[in-house]
Amino acid sequence: MNIKFENVSAGYGSRSKYKEILKDISFEISEGESVSLLGANGSGKTTLLKVLAGLLPYTGSVKINGRELKDLKRSEIAGLVSFLTQLHETSFAYTVYETVMMGRYLDMKGPLSGPGEADRNAVDKALETGGLTDIRDKYITELSGGQLQRVFLARAIARETPALLLDEPANFLDLKYQKQFEERIKSWKNEKGHTLIAVFHDLTLALDLTERIIFLKDGSIVADGPVKESMKAEILEKVYDCNVLSYMDEKNSLWKRFL
């Protein structure tokens, strides 16, 4: 799947109180690429993902496989892009299985049809990816934040779209599942031309899971390139307004002292 942003601006609020977050952004992502979006809080990472998921109006041009995003129907966008959001609302006690099955919404035609073989297989696979097979019959209202995060990850994966957008997916995950998550995402993106675009808090996840990094600051792109070229001390310092390397050194020496 090919994604092309040209002079894209977007923001929140209406007329008088409009706040522009993304400012005149251009880049292109080709099929099968895996890209990290990094930047400080409020730099526009989530906004960019929201634009791409068709959740926010924008000016400029966003093309998916050559077609303008604005002209695509809701169902067409959903067939191309899954988006794992940061916040989840759960008011009602669906089971884990029911929740993940909802990801197959587009594949079930009409109100009377039920899940078919392909839907069940996709859901089973996604449950396994999220490490949820054992708790598939639990109510989502009884789950911890980390478990819920895995349920929504499984739901996004069950949709089997060519592109996956992740917004800080490893938040709430304990170490065991974080490791598992990394392995699963790696194997997911190695499958037939899957495109991954992810916002990470943890820089090492970006190094480990993606080949390209786009750095954002105040809604503009500061650097964009392969990990080797863009993960540089001076860029990090500019983006995060602090000396990232010395901060990491401090952390590392702390580890060495105790382990």
Partner 1 sequence: MQNKNRISPAAVIAAGLILSILTIVVCSGTGSVDISPWDIVRIVASKISGSPLPSDIEPNMSSIIWSVRIPRVLCAFFAGGILSVCGCVMQSLLQNPLASTYTLGVSSGASLGAAIAMVVSDTLAISGLFLLPFSGFVAALLTVILVMLLSERMGKGLRSTTVILTGMVLSLFMNALLMLIETLFADEFRHVIMWQMGSFNGKRGIHVLFLMTACIVGTVVISLFHREMDVMTFGDDESSVTGVDTMKVKRMLIALSSLFTGMTVCFTGTIGFVDLITPHVVRKFTGPAHKYLIPVSMLAGGIFMALADTIGRTVIAPREIPVGAVTALIGAPFFIWIYLKRNEN
Under the binding rule (CB under 8 A), the answer on residue 98 touching partner 1 is yes
Show Cβ contacts of residue 86 under 8 Å, excluding neighbours closer than 6 positions. 46, 167, 168, 171
Least separation in angstroms between residue 207's CB and partner 1 is 28
d(CA 174, CA 154): 16
CB 210 to partner 1: min, Å: 21
Q: Is position 257 an interface residue for partner 1 (rule: CB under 8 A)?
A: no
Least distance CB 137 / partner 1 (angstroms)? 5
Among 44, 103, 130, 169, binds partner 1 (CB under 8 A): 103
Please report, as residue ranges, which positions from 133 to 152 form the binding site for partner 1 (by CB under 8 A). Answer: 136-139
67-68 β-sheet, strand order? 19-29, 3-12, 59-64, 67-68
Per CB under 8 A, contacts with partner 1 among 210-239 are none
- Which of 6, 12, 67, 204: binder of partner 1 (CB under 8 A)? 12
- Binder to partner 1 among 1, 106, 207, 222 (CB under 8 A)? 106
Q: Which range in 74-82, 184-192, 233-241, 250-258 contacts partner 1 by CB under 8 A?
A: 74-82
Using CB under 8 A as the binding rule, whether residue 105 contacts partner 1 is answered as yes
Cβ nearer to partner 1, comparing 27 with 139:
139
**CA angle (24 as vertex; 18, 29 as ends), nearest 5:** 125
Residues near partner 1 (CB under 8 A) are 12, 14, 50, 53-55, 73-75, 77-79, 81-83, 85, 88-95, 97-98, 102-103, 105-106, 108, 111, 136-139, 159
